[in-house]
Every structure is written in structure tokens, then in C-alpha cells.
Structure 1
Amino acid sequence: MIHYKTCFNLLCLQLSISLSLPSITSAAPALQENDLIAICGDSITEQRKYSVNMAAYFLMCQPESGLRSMQLGQGGENASIFSKRLISEVLPFQPDVVTTCYGMNDGGYQALNDDRALRFRESTQKYIDELRAAGVRRIVLGGPGAVDPQTFSRSGRPTTAEIYNQTLSSLSDIAREIAAHNNLIFVDIHTPMLEVIHQAEAKYGPEYYVAGSDGIHASDNGQFIMSYAFLKALGCDGQIGTITYDAETDTATATSGHTILSAQLGAIDLESTRYPFCFAGDPSSPNSSIGMLEFIPFNQELNRYMLVVKHAPAQQMKVTWGEDSKVFSAAELAQGINLADEFLNSPFYPAFRKVVTALHAQQGYESRTIRPHLKMLLDWEQGFPEAFNEKPELFAWQKTKIIERAAERVEATAQKVVPVQHRIVIESVE
């Protein structure tokens, strides 16, 4: 049978946290060239927010070359359900890296009891064993997030946000223990999310909910915390690129992923195939991730697109990138400024947005079409064994076609990452 990785190789030929940081229990690199990452979880994953952020980072920020990803979350799921479906809906794609995020539903939305805690522990260990037996190289075990104290109380749940956050904290501790026992990467999502909830409420008020309007399904802001935590745990170093300009010689150099087209009189024209992560929207809106930059060091740790200016001719220099200009001291420029952090209105944004839109569509297709078709084949095998046994080659052909179609969509999205031409202008301030 042709699996995802085989299909992907064929298609390549054809298509030529001042916050609590995620715990990492292994020093081995998590991501390697051409890895396929399967992003798994419950409805919070299936919302296509943190999973799209991660996929966008893999494709455009390029912590390793050739990374591809799939979103294989399922609404209403817990660790027990995942352990039963991963053989039919995840492993056929032969992922190299699998991230999981369970616990929100496992707690039953009430105080944790011994039975639910044991079920979560045993189910988590079961799917870890199955993933390892299938040859998955790296497993990233994410704990559950947090519920929002403001909005969770409005959802009619049988307990308070304070009690359920205690449940989620306990489940996160269990996941941490399991990760340590199995030498896996563990991602603490609960602690930083709860910290940011309190910080953001103090800044923007109680209606700036972080864990969603229902208190459970985080909005863009809360899911961005999840993205940050997973990317940090995966070992992404945040080096997007460095542009170095020598004002004395009027010459410029660039690191990999960025090509100097021309440098003349302080105007540097570039073409880049590696993008900084981009932001837009209203910082005070839960439906934008840009407000999170005040509370998590994403740009500093994961999004460094540096400009270094040597031998600046004046003590104050104006830098223009895209539509915006800012003034920096010669000392600041000699040390290096982070364009991605200083210029949030990035000239990369239009191209970045197109890729994000394609990723959102790709992940929706994976949720609505790919996984249900694979499940249907399993239902046929279990419910109509006589038909399955009579025509096994037909079912094998159907499974191959489903996997091939998924590979085509993933690769088509990757092709949306196109070179971006942009200009940096460096001028003296008189």
C-alpha cells in the first residue's frame, strides 16, 4: 500500500515565556528535514487556530526545510477515544512527529476523581505505545489548557472555573509524569494560559476572554499561547534571518532564505523565501493574536528577523520597511533590531495571509473529508466483513486514493509559499 510519505515524495518530483516554559525531557532534535507532523487533539485542535499557526510556522518560518503537517483533531475527543482511532485515522499517513493535546474533555467538566484520572493515565500511555510501535520518531505530549474564569461560568457547566482549572492542572501534572517516564517532550499549556488570562484581564478588562466565549474553546488570542508553547517545545530557534548593511561600503549581506538583489545609497532590495511570522488585527480583540505579544515573548524567541547596520553615519537613523518608518540610534542598529517585532505592519503580510488561508482550507478538508473517509472504510471492515473479505483490493485502492489526495492538498498548500520582494531603506536623521 502507498502511504503518505511515499505519496509526498512522488508529488515533490511531480510538483518540483517570561511565562512557564514548555518542559522538554529529551535533548534530541524534535524536527528534521522533510518531517511530516500530525497535530492531534480534541475540538480545540479541530478549530484550526493553533494548528494553523504551527503549520504556518513550519512552512514559512522554516525551522527545518521541507516540513509538512496535517491537522487530525476530532471534536468531543478524549485520550481514550484517540487511542482507539489513531490506527485508522493517523498512522496511515506515517507521521514522523505527532503532537497531542488532551485533558479538557477527560476531566468531565467537574472535580477530578480517581477513575477519570486513571482512565486518562492509562489511555495516554496506550496511545504512546501505539505511536511508538508504529515508528513515530517524536511524540510531543501537550497537557490541557485552562478554562476562562469569566466566560466558563456562563456555559451552564456543573462546576466553577476555579474547580475545573484545578482538575486541568492535575491532568497536566499526570501528562508531565507520563512524558518524563517515557522520555517524551511535554508541553505545559495550562500554566502559561492561566497566567495570561489574569494578565490580559488586568490590561483589557473582563470581556477580553482568552479561553473563548464559552470558557473552553480558546479564541485566536488563547490559541496563540498554545502555538507558542508547542513551537518552543519542538525546539524552534526563531532565527528567521539576518540582514547586515555596512554604510561605509554601501554593501549588504543576508543569511539563508534571503537574497540581496541590490544595495545602493542605503536602499536594500531583497527577495525572501523565508518569512517572518506576521500579525494583524486589533490588540484588544480576542479574535486577534496580536494582543498576546505583550504577554508572551514570541517575537523575541521565535520570530527574529534582524537588521544590523555597521558604521552608521549619524547617531540617529531612520529605517523604512514596507509602509512604515522608525528612528533608531546607531548603537541599536549596530547591535541589531528585530524587524518582525519593530514593524508589525510587515510587507510579508499579504503573502503570509494567502498561505494561512490555504492552510485553513487544507485543515478543514482533512477534518471534513479525509478523516471521515478513513473512518468509513474502518466501519465497512467492521460492519460488513464479508464485503471487505470479498474485495480487499478495492478497499486497499480506496485507502490509497484517500492518502494520495491528502498528500496532494498538503503539497499544494506548500507551493503557496512564494518568494517575496521587499525593500529596506536606511537614512540619516539630520
Structure 2
Amino acid sequence: MMKRITLKFYFTFFLLLMVLISCEKKTVPEAAILVNKRVLFLGNSITNQGGYVSYIEYYLRKQFPADRIDIISIGLSSETVSCLSELAHPFPRPCLRERLERALQKIKPDIVVACYGMNDGIYHPQSPDRMERFREGIHHLLQQINGVGAKAILMSPPVFDPLPLAERVVDDGATDFSYLHPYENYDSVLGDYSEWLQSLNDADIRVIDVHGPMKAQIMTLRSQNPSFSYSTDGIHPSASGHLFIAQQFLKSFGYTFDQDIKTLADSVESDNLFQLVDARRKLRSEGWLKFVGYIRKDTVKQDHIDDIEMEVARLDREISTKK
């Protein structure tokens, strides 16, 4: 009888242990797919600013201190996937197609994260032609990513906020539109892009919605403070805006955040680990952007990257002591 009770005890203990192990596994963020992989971030000036990329890398390093974090971010200011450019722009906007093949060949990513849309409607009201040009650009991007065997992650564009541009926005009766005088309801164009991008979400293409949650958050905060904005120019996010973008990205991989954005941004940016990660991201972004090469009014091309990667390796060693 005692032996039977003992066996029953051990069997129950074993089942409980298996349940606990299973629960423990479920708490590991799915973002583990981003570590020990080479991850390429593509985008326009918002990605060139790079704040959200630094926040993402910081949290990955905090969560996976023993793993390799290999992120290269080469956002290019003014760039589009639609290959459109408004008349008032001082030079033809760079188009991702011009540098995409080189970027994939030189960087050899396992995962490509792309955030486009803000410039792609060239600050005009929506039109079937411009919408189709955006779709064509995204499909071309996905074909190229698939062609090198990488996984695609698309992010919908952040919000265009007309509030900081109240004196410059124009209505749909204007004769022309541009980043200097954008359509007052241009965010509806970005909403169209966001909705269409989300329709692509499947087993092969991951789509992370930034636009919808950011718009809802702005509306909530503006009900408390009518002058609130995540941007000073309606286009480029503040540090808090970049952190919000990073949060949406990380939440889609299972992260949770307890503190409000402002408190979190202040505490993160005062962390020496974040400062090193941010310096590393900026150094690597500038170096690889030039090494891949681009045309933005002038042609920019640098023939070496070894010196940059040596400094990156030094920063990696310093970062390893801060985890």
C-alpha cells in the first residue's frame, strides 16, 4: 500500500513538473527567432533616425544576454518603395530598388524588417495609381527577400500627425502637395497602406501593425492633453514615438511593458547598456549604408567595411560586460 502511494506521489510530482516546464517555455518571447541571426532593417528617414531599432536591440540584449545579436539598419532618408517623388522635392526621391539587390548580396540577412509608407504617397491624397505603385514596390521587395532565402517582416508606417504642421497642411483642393505642404488628411493614405499590408500577413510574411495602435494611443493621450503629439514635425517620431514603435514590434513577439512610455524612455536612455547599443547601431548603420551605396541627389559609395566592423567588435566586447 505504501509503495502504491509513493508511486502515485512521484507520478503526480512528475506531471506537475512537466506542466511547470511547459508554462516556463511559453514565457520565452518568440523574439528568440531574431537572435543568432543576421537581421537587416530597411526604411526611410524614420529608420535612418534609428531610435526604434536601438530600443529593439537593447531589449533583445537584455532578454538574451548569452546570444549573438546581429542587427544592421540602413534606413535612407527620403526613400520610397513606390519610386514616386513630388515636384517640390529638391531632388528625385531615392527608390529602394536602386540599392536593394546590393544590400541583400552584401549583408546576406536571414531576416529583413522593412518599414515604408510615410513617403510613398508623396504627401498627396490617395489615388489608385499611387496605391498601386506602393503595392508593386512591396511585392518587389518581398520577391527579392524570398529570392535570397530570407524571412520578411513588414511594419506598417507610423502616424502622420497634422497637428504640428497646422500652418503648412493643405486641403484636397490644393493644386499641389509635398512634404513642405502635405495633404491635411494624409494619415488616411497611411491607413490604407497599413490595412493592405496586414492583408499580406501569413505563414511566410509577418506584418506588424504600428499605425493602428499608434493612432489609437495618440487619440487617447490627446483627450487628456489636446496638444499631445509623438512628433514635432508631423513625420519623424520623438524618442517616445520611437519607443512606442519598438514596443509594437516587440509586443508582437510576446513582450509586455508595465511602465508608461515617458518613464520607460527616460530609464532606458540613462542605462549605459542602451547608450552603447545606440552608439553601435549608429556606427554600423552609417558604415553599411555607405558600403552598400545609394543615390540621394549624389552617389555615395564606400569600398570597405572592415574598419567599421572592427570598432563594432570592440563595442560588442564592452557591451558583453554590461549585461
Q: Normalising by structure 2, what TM-score?
A: 0.72
* Mapped partners of 2:113, 2:34: distance in 1: 15
Structure 1: distance between partners of 2:232 and 2:146:
37
User: CA 1:103/1:213 → structure 2, altered by over 3 Å: closer, same or farther?
Assistant: same
CA distance in 1, matches of 2:211, 2:294: 35
Q: Do the aligned residues in 2 keep the contact of 1:37 with 1:97 (CA within 8 Å)?
A: yes
Structure 2 residue aligned with 1:185: 206
Q: Secondary structure of 1:417's match?
A: helix
Residue 223 of structure 1 aligns with which residue?
A: 242
Partners of 1:64 and 1:122 in 2: CA distance: 40
- Residue type of the partner of 1:185? R
Distance in 2 between the 1:32 and 1:362 partners? 18
SS of residue in 2 equivalent to 1:416: helix
Q: 1:237 to 1:368 in 2, by over 3 A?
A: closer
Contact 1:32 1:64 in 2 (8 A): no
Question: Is residue 99–residue 292 contact of structure 2 (8 Å, CA) maintained in 1?
Answer: no
Separation in structure 2 between the aligned mates of residue 107 and residue 33 of structure 1, nearest angstrom: 34
Partner SS state of residue 163, structure 2? coil
In 2, Cα distance between equivalents of 1:129 and 1:358: 35
CA contact 1:63–1:236 (8 Å) conserved in 2: no
- Any conservation in 1 of the 2:208–2:248 contact (CA below 8 Å)? yes
Q: Tell me, which stretches of 5 or more residues in structure 2 are unaligned?
A: 1-29, 83-94, 170-179
What is the deviation of 1:65? 2.0
Q: Does 1:166 align with 2:68?
A: no
- Tell me which amino acid in the other structure corresponds to 2:262: I
Distance 1:292 1:155, change over 3 A: farther
Q: Does the CA-based 8 Å contact 2:56-2:246 persist in structure 1?
A: yes
Aligned twin of 1:153? 166
Are positions 1:42 and 2:44 aligned together? yes
Maintained 8 Å contact 1:40/1:71: yes
Match of 2:282 among 357, 364, 367: 364
- Distance, in Å, in 1 between the alignment partners of 2:34 and 2:51 is 24
Trace 1:23-34 onto structure 2 (pairs within 5 A). 31=33, 33-34=35-36
Which residue matches 1:195? 216
Give yes or no for contact 1:39–1:100 (8 Å, CA) kept in 2.
yes
Deviation, structure 1 residue 366: 3.4
Post-superposition offset of 1:292: 7.2
Q: Does 1:206 align with 2:206?
A: no
- Of the three residues 108, 123, 148, the one matched with 1:109 is 123
Question: Does the 8 Å CA contact 1:192/1:225 hold for their aligned counterparts?
Answer: no
Task: Tell me the CA shift for residue 30 of structure 1.
Answer: 6.8
Q: Against the structure 1 CA distance between its residues 291 and 113, is the aligned structure 2 distance closer, same or farther, given a 3 Å change threshold?
A: farther
CA shift digits 1:358-390 (9 cap, x unpaired): 33333333343332233179xxxx9xxxxxxxx
* Counterpart selection for 2:313 from 411, 417, 427: 411
Task: Tell me by how many angstroms 1:35 deviates.
Answer: 1.1
Give the structure with the larger helix fraction: 2
CA offset at residue 193 of structure 1?
0.7
Assess, with a 3 A threshold, how the Cα gap between structure 1 residues 32 and 170 changes in structure 2: closer, same or farther: closer
Structure 1 counterpart SS, 2:39: strand
Name which of 65, 68, 71 aligns with 2:67.
Answer: 65
Contact 2:154 2:207 in 1 (8 A): yes
- Over 3 Å counting, the alpha-carbon distance change for 1:376 and 1:86 in structure 2 is closer
Unaligned 5+ runs, structure 1: 1-27, 239-276, 284-288, 294-343, 383-394, 422-430
For the residue of structure 2 that corresponds to 1:168, the secondary structure is: helix
Please give the secondary structure, in 2, of the residue aligned with 1:65.
coil
List per-residue Cα deviations over 1:321-347 (Å, max 9, x = no partner): xxxxxxxxxxxxxxxxxxxxxxx96xx
Listed one character per residue, the Cα deviations across residues 214-249 of structure 1 (whole Å, up to 9, x for unaligned) are 11101011111210111223x2446xxxxxxxxxxx
Answer with 48-57 or 365-374: which moved more. Answer: 365-374
RMSD: 3.3
Match of 2:80 among 75, 78, 85: 78
TM-score relative to the length of structure 1? 0.55
CA distance in 1, matches of 2:315, 2:322: 16
**Aligned-pair CA distance for 1:278:** 11
Distance 1:369 1:32, change over 3 A: closer
Say which SS state the counterpart of residue 194 (structure 1) adopts. Answer: helix
Q: Percent identity?
A: 23
- Matched residue SS, 2:78: coil
Indicate if the aligned counterparts of 1:46 and 1:75 stay in contact, CA closer than 8 A. Answer: yes
Q: Partner letter of residue 290 of structure 1?
A: K
Alpha-carbon contact 1:155-1:215 (below 8 Å) kept: no
Shift of 1:151: 0.9
Contact 2:124 2:182 in 1 (8 A): yes
Instruction: Work out the CA distance in 1 between the residues paired with 2:110 and 2:289.
Output: 18
Pick closer, same or farther for the CA change 1:217–1:420 going to 2, 3 Å: closer
